[in-house]
A and B are shown apart, each in its own frame.
Chain A
Amino acid sequence: MRHEVRFSGYGGQGIILSAVILGRAAALYDNKYAVQTQVYGPEARGGASMGQVVIDDEPILYPVVTDPDIYVIMSQQGFEKYGVWAREDAVMILDADLVRSRPGCRYYEIPATAEAKENLGREIVANIVMMGALVATTGVVSREAIERAVLDSVPKGTEDLNQKALKRGFELGELASTTPP
C-alpha cells in the first residue's frame, strides 16, 4: 500500500533528516520501496521546512507526494503552510507545544520538544522523539527498521541519546494512541 508522509517544521529542527531517515528505514531495512523528496529554497532556512516520503510495497512509479495520508508537524507555520489541508482520513502527529492549531483529521499530540529539552537534555533530538511516535502510532515502518536507520544517520557519539529519544517517542506514541485527545 502506498503511503505518503509529509514532515514540516522550521529550519534547524531536522525536518529533512527525519524524512531521509524514514525513507532509509523503509527502503533498506523494511524491504519496501521509498522515495524521499523535499522543498528546496529560501524557506529551508528559518521559515517552514518540508520533507516528504513515499513508501510502498511495490516499486514507486510516480515519485512525488501529492496528497499525504500521514503528517508530522513541528511548527505552527509548518502546519499552516503544509498541514492545514490534510484530508479527513489522514493522520497527523504534531508537537503539542509548537503547533497551536488542530487539523480536521485524526491527530496525536506528542510533547516531543518539551520531552527532548527537559527529560533527554537535548532539544535537538525532538525530531527523533517524533519519529518514534510516528512509528508507534502508524506502523508505517517497523521499529527495528527505524532504529537502524536512526543509528545510520546520527553523528558518532550521539547514538545512545538518539536511541533513548526514539524509545521515548515509541512510548509517547503508544500513550497518545490509547488516550484520544
Chain B
Amino acid sequence: MSRVEFMQGNAACAEGALAAGCRFFGGYPITPSTEIAETMARRLPKVGGVFISMEDELASIAAVIGAAWTGTRAMTATSGPGFSLMMENIGYAAMTETPCVIVNIQRGGPSTGQPTRAAQGDMLQCRFGSHGDYSTIALTPNSVQEMFDLTVKAFNLANRFRVPTLLMSDEIVGHMRERMAIPDSVDIIPPAPLAEGSLPFEAGDDGVPGFAPFGSGRSIHVTGLTHDERGYPDTTDPEAHDRLVRRLVTKVESARREIADYVVTNPDAETVFVTYGPPSRTVEQVMHTHPDDDIGHLRLRLVWPFPEFALQEFPNAKVFLMPELNMGQMVREVQRHVDQPVISIPKIGGELHTPAELVRILEAHR
C-alpha cells in the first residue's frame, strides 16, 4: 500500500528523508532548496526529530555531522553558494567517515548566479570540491518520485559506506509537482556496528569500519587529522596517510559495479545519449516522438562513483551525445572511457534543452 500525492520535488525529498528515518535537519534558507527545510521544519517535530535553522551553511553541515555521530540520521539541503560553503566540512565528513546526506538543488552559477533557475553546474564540485583525495556517492533524480526514492537510497548508501552522500538535484526537479507514491515503509539499512574488540577505524574487507555512535561507551576519538585505526592523530607517517586515504577512496570506488544505478534504452543503437537528471526527460521525449530511429540512451541515476562499464552496454555506439545543464562537466568522464567521439551539448541559462534543440543536434551527428 502507498499514499498517492501530487507533490513538489523538494517536498518529496523531505518525505523521503523522513521515511528513511532522518531525525535531524540543520539548514540555512537558500533558493531553490528552501522548501526542503520548510517541510522538515513542519514535519520533524511531529515525529520526534529536530529541525534547526543554523547561522550559515558551514554551521548547517557541521551540526549535521555532530548529530550523525550520535547515531541520528541527519541531512542538510542547500544550493550552489551554500554548497560551496559546505565544502570544507564535507571533506571532514569524508575523512571521519560520517554517514550523512547533503542535498544540492542546483541553480545557475558561478557565485549568486541565477537563484531561481536550474543548472547542473556542481557535478564536479560534488566529487572533487573539498581539498585532498576522497570519494563520494552522488545521485541524480529526474522526477518527483525519484526525489523521494533516491533520498531514501542516499541514506542507505551513506550508512553502508559511511560517506557523505549527495543528492544532486536541480531547480527543475526540485520545484516541479507530479504524482508520486509514498510507500507505507521503506527498507532502511543501518550502519554496521563496531564489533567488540575492533578498533574504531579498523575496516574489514569492504573497507568500511563498524560504527559506534557517541554515548555507546566506546570512547571514540574522531578527528579530521590523518589518524590510525584507533582514531588517534598520526600526521607525519607517510604510511599512515597512504593507508587511510587509499581506504577512503577504495571503499567507494571498489563498490562501483555493485551500487551502479542506471537505465539502458536501445542498447543496439549507434547514436547514444548519456544523461543524468532532467535532461534525460528531454531525451526520452525525443525518443518517444522518433520511435523508429536508432537512438540509444544511458541515463545515470547514480553519477559518482562513475559507472564507466555502463558505456559498454552500447556495443554499436558510434557517437555519444551528452546534454547537460552546464558547459560540459561529466562529458570528460565519458570521454576518458570510450574511443568514440563524445559530443557535449551544453545548455546554460537555467532552462532545460527543448526536444527540438536535441533533434537538431541529433540530425547534425548522424
Contact = CB atoms under 8 A, between A and B. Distances in A.
B281 A20 contact: no
Nearest to A51: B177
B32 A40 contact: yes
Interface residues of A, number: 20
A63 B179 contact: no
B176 A35 contact: yes
Nearest to A44: B116
Contacts of A33: 178-179
B179 A28 contact: yes
Interface in A143-160: none
A42 B303 CA distance: 33
Main SS of the interface on chain B?
Answer: mixed
B178 A27 contact: yes
Interface in B278-326: 278, 281-282, 284-285, 288
A41 B175 contact: no
A177 interface: no
Given A36-B177, A61-B288, A64-B351, A41 B116 contact: yes
Interface in A5-49: 20, 23-24, 27-28, 33-41
B354 A66 contact: yes
Given A28-B4, A63-B172, A63-B278, A34 B354 contact: no
Given A28-B4, A40-B31, A40-B116, A62 B281 contact: yes
Given A36-B177, A40-B171, A41-B116, 17 more contacts: A24-B6, A28-B5, A28-B6, A35-B176, A39-B116, A40-B116, A61-B281, A61-B282, A61-B284, A61-B288, A62-B285, A62-B355, A63-B172, A63-B176, A63-B281, A63-B352, A64-B172
Interface of B: 4-6, 31-32, 115-116, 171-172, 175-179, 278, 281-282, 284-285, 288, 351-352, 354-355
